[in-house]
Amino acid sequence: MKLSDELESFRESVRRMAEKHVAPIAAEIDETDRFPTELVKLFGEMGLMQLWIPERYGGPEGNLTAMCIAREEISRFSPSAGSIAGLNTMFIMPLIHFGSEEQRQKYLPIVAEGGVVTAISISEPQAGSDVGAMAATAVRDGDSYVLNGRKQWCSYGVEADFIMLFARTSGKEGADGISAFVIEPKKMKGVSFGRHERKMGWRGAPNTPIFLDNVRVPVENLVGEEGKGFRASMRALDLNRPTIGAQSVGLATGAMEVAVAYAKERKQFKRPIADFQGIQFMLADMAIQIEAARALVYECAQAGDVGDWDRLNRLASMAKCFASDVAMKVTTDAVQVLGGYGYTMDYPVERMMRDAKLAQIFEGTNQIQRMVVARQLLR
């Protein structure tokens, strides 16, 4: 897919920024599991965190393609840092597509200023891929809803000013009866967080459980119709999954670049290992797989940008699944190319391999993505 001159210029500016500000701290973020607040400020100033907010609310009015470009380029060095670009997308999308104009006027200009951290909270201990198993409740009480329960795996929630949180507002089973609410964890009583999950990879992106103990949320914070929140969550996921694919492409590209540079320098039997056909085939396969994944991701992004929702739903699952599988394969092979050094923390490919694994799991496991694709084929 050929990008416009404007988008190519955008890609180049993000690439330069990532090389200057992300690459030098990528290993340190992984080692310390530190949330890089300095990148929040920088990305906010560049308009990357609030990329999707329309101009009428003070935002840069980017699109899905721009979001994928930003995450791809930053994820060449650190996918957890790449997640900060467009971090507010999952909070913004339900408001744009299902919220009231009053809600958009209230929240979007604040987020558009940059530097504001938001989050979305869908998963629970027993409700991951099966969103319909959600148990957290929201009971209407006068001009408020009272929320109780536990949410799990809330990325950046402990740092967030606003969280788009989903809870059950009726006794109906499954997806029916789930509603979306805006909560302000730093202001509302009864909101608390558990320990930071100690993850194998994707470190520096905090994940914590949320505990809701009689949290009072004003009625006006209900997003969309009561009991229709599942649709809002699925739309947000469809629009975010291609960006996970883009991060996977960036991560794989970064690993391939390290492997190529190493293969040119490392000598065995008085020759660079890049001269050996076995290594050449591994590098060639990396390049082929990455280009295929990139093409699929940006084809999906284009469907999202023109509002082709049926096609987006299918391509989003394809792009996320295929690109993350490619990232896992490429990073594993990069470790192999580097041999013993690849297995050490002195080189970045072992970190990249650990990061790649999560991309196959979150935002819907790749098994779930294959089920989505198969269901569309068979319906």
Helix, strand or coil for residue 309? helix
Q: Which two tokens stand for residue 195?
A: 């320990």
CA distances to 6, 103, 236, 242, 305 from 312, rounded to whole Å, are: 24, 26, 12, 9, 9
Half-sphere exposure of 209 (CA within 13 A, CB side): 15
Q: In 3D, which of 28, 38, 93 has the Cα closest to residue 316?
A: 93
Q: Are 86 and 363 in contact (CB under 8 A)?
A: no
Q: Are 352 and 247 in contact (CB under 8 A)?
A: no
Round to whole Å and give the CA distance between 262 and 274. 8
Round to whole Å and give the CA distance between 33 and 26. 10
Beta strands in 73-159 (DSSP E): 118-121, 137-141, 144-155
Centre a 10 Å sphere on the Cβ of residue 358 and count the other Cβ atoms it contains.
22
Residues designated catalytic: 363
Round to whole Å and give the CA distance between 347 and 342. 6
Q: In 3D, which of 19, 91, 71 has the Cα closest to residue 257?
A: 19
In our burial notation (b when 16+ CB lie closer than 10 A, e otherwise), range 13-47 reads ebbebbeebbbebbbebbeebebbeebbebbbebb
Q: In 3D, which of 145, 80, 84, 83 has the Cα closest to residue 116?
A: 84
Round to whole Å and give the CA distance between 180 and 318. 27
